[in-house]
Amino acid sequence: MQVKTTHRNKVKNDANQEKEYDIPSDVTARVSDFNFYYGDLRAVKDVSLDIKKNKITALIGPSGCGKSTFLRSFNRMNDEIPGFKYEGEIIIDNRNILDKKTDLIKLRSKIGMVFQKPTPFPQTIRKNIAYGSKIRGIRNKQQLNKIVEFSLKRAGLWGEVNDRLDDLATQLSGGQQQRICIARTLSVWPEMILFDEPCASLDPISTNVIEDLLVDLAKDYTVVIATHSMHQAARISNMTAFMYMGELIEYDNTKKIFEKPAQKLTEDYITGRFG
């Protein structure tokens, strides 16, 4: 498909020289020749792909293939690990976010993350959602209330909690806690949200609720999800990336990957021959 290129913004790279990235308008993140190392271990190998705007991209592959490592690279969460090293480029909004000068607080607002285990702070629902705005300097109570309401509504939780915003978030059910974490991410106006096995600790009904929410969120945000569940990837994603031992084996429309994969290795994985 021919994609129209609309922005050729100029950016300054490390050496203060102007650099132009030519990214199509339907791409949120362009990954080029990307490698990630834990010390000597190269956990992600020469990956290049485009993450499509307002779509759900699923990362699938057997345990240890690098899904979480790759996912965490989009908001530089791997920087917390000693001995980490990135190579290549991840271009978001015409900047290489792997650049040493990247403001990680801003990046992590723009690229939110939700983990496998719901991780609300041991505080009230209201404080959980307002936290990100407060640390970014918003003090006005009315404004904070609006942000809390918007975020909880968008995470499909407002109807369930609007009369107990000052109760502890940790008292909610697992599925509700996961939506608190999603609302917390939404409260700082992200462009893209990363989900690492977001349903792995949830029952089937809560899983359905989260899956429906992800499909709905993709109308406004770009969604990337690492999942062990091929059924989940097939149900909700538009694009699927199959990874194996750190390499990107195949990346295509989800329907194509599950119905007519180009690679034998992909076929073997999705038909359950290994994994």
Q: Which residues bind ligand ATP (CB under 6 A)?
A: 38, 41, 43, 61, 63-69, 81, 226, 228
Check if the beta carbon of residue 184 is closer than 8 Å to that of residue 132.
yes
227 binds Mg ion (CB under 5 A): no
Check if the beta carbon of residue 260 is closer than 8 Å to that of residue 254.
no
68 binds Mg ion (CB under 5 A): yes
> Min. distance of Cβ 67 from ligand ATP in angstroms?
4
Binding partner of 135, given Mg ion, ligand ATP, none, CB within 5-8 angstroms per partner class:
none
Instruction: Select 197 or 211, whichever has its Cβ closest to ligand ATP.
Output: 197
> Min. distance of Cβ 144 from ligand ATP in angstroms?
35
**Edge-to-edge strand ranges of the sheet holding 192-196:** 95-96, 84-92, 27-38, 41-52, 247-253, 239-244, 56-60, 222-226, 192-196, 111-114
Instruction: Select 63 or 142, whichever has its Cβ closest to ligand ATP.
Output: 63
> Min. distance of Cβ 182 from Mg ion in angstroms?
19
> Min. distance of Cβ 113 from Mg ion in angstroms?
12
Binding partner of 42, given Mg ion, ligand ATP, none, CB within 5-8 angstroms per partner class:
none
Buried-state track 228-258, b at ≥16 Cβ within 10 A, e below 16: bbbebbbebbbbbbbbbebbbbbbbebeebb
- Can you read off the two tokens belonging to residue 267? 């076929």
